[in-house]
Amino acid sequence: MDEIFFDYTLDTYKPPALNAIFLCKEAVELIIDIENDIIDKANLEHVLNELEWSLSVDPIAKLMLNAPISKFIIKGDGTKLSDTKIRLEVLSKILNPYEYIELCQQLLLDEINGGSKKEIANIARTYASTLINLGVSKQHLYEQTQRFFFSGGEIESFDNINEYFYLISPTAHHYEIYFIVSKLINQVKESIDSFDLTIIDNPPDEVLDAASKNNFMPKDLEVWVEIKNIEAYDRHSARKDAEARLDIVRDLFLLFSHKNRIHWRSESIITQCCDENPVLIRKSKNSMEKCFDMRPQEASIRLNSMIKNIGLEGNSFAKFHRVVDLHASGTINDLPENQLLNIWIALETLVPSQVHGGGKIVKVINGIMPILLRKYIPRLIQRLSADLVRWNRPVTSKLLIKTHNSKDKGLYQRVLELVTLSENSEIVKELYAELGDFHLLRYRVFEIVELFKKPENLIKRIEIHEKKVLWQLRRIYRTRNLIVHSGRSISYIETLIENGHDYLDQAMDAVLEYTCGMLNASSLEQTFDMAKLDYDVYLKDIRELKSFTSDNIVQVL
């Protein structure tokens, strides 16, 4: 759970954006949008395919279903939308999220008490996905995980896990939140009641005490704004709901006064109905910030190299520059809907219109999919390598030196050979022993060892990843259309932003790789064609392997 809720976890190890429960709800909402001519009907097939797949691999959903999966997903050319919707609504009633959570907890208890780590990992991910999609903030879940496992009392038996389940349960509370806002808000004092905002001289004494202790007091050009009766599952969700009201007031004011902007501090004081002590909390991290970052020194080297060596010319350079602008705007802008729009426009701008396919979504998928799939397996090895070094650099180095022909090889190749080649199996056993009680990392090593037992395992893994990425790209595109054509948004938009930003970063990295290196591509068309050729050859080479050896394993990287 610590890894699942960590902001910088590799997407493979994060919880799914939607599990079976919420895919079912998404499908129902999509049919309603199709009936209202907001979304094209062609989108439904992809959602139903994803729902069907999700139900087939979800152990909790399988326990809850009272009929075969095929009975709930009615599709085909002659099928009425209304019939499909009714059956999905029935499925949605059966997949009650609160009952689902209880089953997750029971199955986790069973597996923790002498069961399978693989099942713990699978159930934990779908459990986390359910909590997040019900409205429990990821920040709250991470904080409670840290508090229970790393900052709390001694864990004496596996029964203690019930205390953790209670800490992260979706239990509603009432909150009052106090912001320090620029005095400009006084200009709209008469109208902010409509948003349940109140300008006050001073908050209650206990709030004032907490503010004073944290040196959080208004200055001359600031005032207190109180937002009462927010109902949410946790403080961070409550703060987000409250700040959304301030966002509306700020944006409406900008509509009439373009040069003046109402602003507020990133901290706020919040009270909870069942807690006597007010707490100062800060704004959660921007979704665009939850990505891999270079150190400033390394970033400056890459920037200088790019400026000096980039081979793009003419319109291709102009388009890449526009993508850089869109990426920067998305990073600076803190409104999720604008961030997602910027990400999608950047992807559309980057992928050449000559890429084979139909509409925009097909072109984007065809353009960036070879890049994402080519990088997938290497990223797993890179993350494992980084985790081993972060865990214990001396021990990792000592074991890697023992591997076959380890001289003059990079870290990633040495780690890959360690977990792949049969002649290194005794060293892997040493690694397991050294890892001791670090169960998660030991399981991760074991998982990678199992993955690399046969080349066909890699092909299957890449094919599953391709399905998931395709579904997610289409979901990002549908959400973009929803925002543009109906003004609506979705509850899981932050997950889409994280994934979309990662896809965009990988695509931009590939452009730099092909245009700044020896290939020196001069157009985006050349770049994406090179990427497709590379992926086709990569896949062909892996398919032709009968087994992994020290001579051919480097092809994986």
Q: What is the pLDDT of residues 435-484, one digit of tens each?
A: 999 999 999 999 999 999 999 999 999 999 999 999 999 999 999 999 99
- Helix ranges (H only) for 135-176 are 138-146, 161-167
Query: Sign of torsion, CA 333 336 338 343?
Result: positive
pLDDT band, residue 518 (cuts 50/70/90): confident
Closest of 309, 289, 291 to residue 301, by C-alpha: 309
CB crowding 455-492: b at 16 or more within 10 Å, else e: beebeebbeebeebbbbbbbbbbbbbbbbeeeeeebeb
Question: For residues 454 and 293, what is the distance between their CA atoms, to the nearest angstrom?
Answer: 33
DSSP 280-322: EEEPPPPGGGSS----HHHHHHHHHHHHHH----HHHHHHHHH
pLDDT band, residue 113 (cuts 50/70/90): confident
Question: For residues 56 and 58, what is the distance between their CA atoms, to the nearest angstrom?
Answer: 6
Over residues 348-357, mean pLDDT:
83
Structure tokens at 379: 């990223």
Structure tokens at 43: 């989108």
33, 157 contact by CB (below 8 A): no
Q: Give first-to-last CA distance, the chain, whole Å.
A: 29
Instruction: Please report the pLDDT score of residue 331 as a whole number.
Output: 78
Question: For residues 278 and 249, what is the distance between their CA atoms, to the nearest angstrom?
Answer: 25
178, 211 contact by CB (below 8 A): yes
pLDDT band, residue 257 (cuts 50/70/90): confident
Each residue of 166-192: pLDDT tens digit?
Answer: 999 999 999 999 999 999 999 888 888
For residue 482, list its beta bridge partners.
Answer: none
Question: For residues 83 and 89, what is the distance between their CA atoms, to the nearest angstrom?
Answer: 10
**For the whole model, what pTM was predicted?**
0.91
CATH 3.30.70 for the 173-283 domain, yes or no: yes
List Cβ neighbours of 14 (8 Å cut-off, separation of 6 or more).
4, 125, 498
